[in-house]
Every structure is written in C-alpha cells, then in structure tokens.
Amino acid sequence: VINPVSRFLAEHYRLDLTDIPGTCEHNANAALKIGRRDLIQLWQLIGHMSHTKLQPSPNADQGAPWAFCPFGRPLVNKMLNHYAKIRDVQTMAMICCMFWDND
C-alpha cells in the first residue's frame, strides 16, 4: 500500500510551470530516490505530453487544443483515476497543478 503523502517528495518536488520539462525531469529523479517507478514513468510521460509541439495553437485553423485531442483529456483523467484508486492524493494534486491553465 502506498502512503498517500510522501514527506520526501513534498520536500523535493519542484513545481515550475515556466519550465515543465525541467520540472518533470527533476521530479522523476526525486521519485527515483524513493523507488517509485510508477512516478518516474508518470513524470516522463507528463514531460512528453507538455512538449511545445503538442501545445495548442492560438490559431483555431491549426487544430484543437491538446486537451481535446484523443490522447489529451482522457489520458489525464486516466492518470487521475489511477492515483485516486490508490489514494495517492499528493500525485493527484501534482498532476492537476502541471495541467493547470491560468488563462
């Protein structure tokens, strides 16, 4: 059973929305230190998902925002549902923060 809050991760996680790839790499390394392979994979996936080529274009003719694409919102929802099932509220909160849109 996974503890719903890791003090180590709380102290070592970074949340910098101006550098999402760097944040994901940093957080994956923190997860590595406590042996959470699932979180290493999660942070790597979020890093890939936040790649600039997948960001929505301000020009509507260039396609829908990423969250509305087949891999977008449903994938984030699956992540949240998975961590809700194992009661990992810390990871759920971090996922929400990483995909927060302040616009």
Residue range 24-58, pLDDT digits in tens? 999 999 999 999 999 999 999 999 888 665 555 56
Q: Which two tokens stand for residue 74?
A: 């449903």
Q: What's the pLDDT score for residue 58?
A: 62
Nearest to 67 by CA among 55, 79, 78: 55
pLDDT band at 16 (very low <50, low <70, confident <90, very high): very high
Q: What's the pLDDT score for residue 48?
A: 87
What are the tens digits of pLDDT across the range 49-103?
A: 886 655 555 665 555 555 556 667 788 899 999 999 999 999 999 999 998 766 5
Residue 5: CA count within 13 A, CB half-sphere:
4
Please give the span between the terminal C-alpha atoms of the chain, in angstroms, as a whole number.
37
Domains of the chain by residue range: 7-98
Q: What's the pLDDT score for residue 14?
A: 97
**Cβ partners under 8 Å of residue 30, min gap 6:** 8, 9, 12, 13
